[in-house]
Amino acid sequence: MVQQRFIEDSIRYDGSQLSSLWAYRSYGIQGDSIVSFCGPCQVSFDKMVDLEDVIQGETIYSQGMLHFIIEHFELDLEKTVLRQRLFMTIIKEEIESKGQYRLQRKGDDLYWIDNEQQKRQKLSVSIATLSPVSTMIHTGLNLQTEGTPVPTVALAQIGVKDPEEFARRIMEKYSAEMKDIYAARCKVRGVE
């Protein structure tokens, strides 16, 4: 079971949270988990794990984001990238379920197409990686858009007024989907 926790304190995400057993060391959460909190986001180059960004000189910065840190205690990174994509889908489905705003998913990125301005605005950053004992995901959703390196949209602009309540629903859905996926694996006979 994927344990869920929303941390009410603001935490500056600087990449150090994407390290093994962060949830256990910080909050006593032992086992697979998803933890969420709000706070600014600034990752220095030496903490960046996405070498694509490093190569392209892209920085990760936001004055305010809703963050998620996910940890699964196994070592198959491709599997955790699959989980990450599904996690982005869950966020997209949740925002769209309110009926008004439509998002576009490109791999692990979510965008909002502002039809008036005909402009694609980025909602999210996300990365999946390996630690020595687990695989981990970080996803950040913009709460503020000032000063971001690319045009961005904030959750409040697309209908999400209460980040905590939104985070709790997303975490609940992710945990439920992971449980359901394991159950799906446990109901089929093999074929020839």
Contact between 129 and a second copy per CB under 8 A: yes
Candidate segments 34-42, 60-68, 122-130, 152-160, binder of a second copy by CB under 8 A: 122-130
82 binds a second copy (CB under 8 A): yes
Q: Are 100 and 82 in contact (CB under 8 A)?
A: no
Window 51 to 70, contacts with a second copy (CB under 8 A): 51-52, 54-55
Candidates 6-14, 30-38, 58-66, 151-159 — which segment interacts with a second copy by CB under 8 A? 30-38
108 binds a second copy (CB under 8 A): yes
Cβ atoms of 105 and 92 closer than 8 Å: yes
Q: Are 62 and 41 in contact (CB under 8 A)?
A: yes
Between 85 and 168, name the residue whose CB sits nearer to a second copy. 85
Which residues face 171 on adjacent strands?
Answer: none
The answer to whether 104 and 119 have CB atoms below 8 angstroms apart is no
Q: At 172, which amino acid appears?
A: E
Residue 107 makes contact with a second copy by CB under 8 A: yes
Tokens of 88: 């982005």
Is residue 45 a contact point for a second copy (CB under 8 A)? Answer: no
By the rule CB under 8 A, 31 interacts with a second copy: yes
Cα distances from 178 to residues 10, 16, 24, 68, in angstroms, run: 27, 25, 20, 16
* β pairing state of 135-142 and 119-122: unpaired
Note the residues at the interface with a second copy (CB under 8 A).
1, 18-21, 24-25, 28, 30-32, 49-52, 54-55, 73, 75-79, 81-86, 89, 93, 96, 102, 105, 107-108, 127-134, 136, 177, 180-192
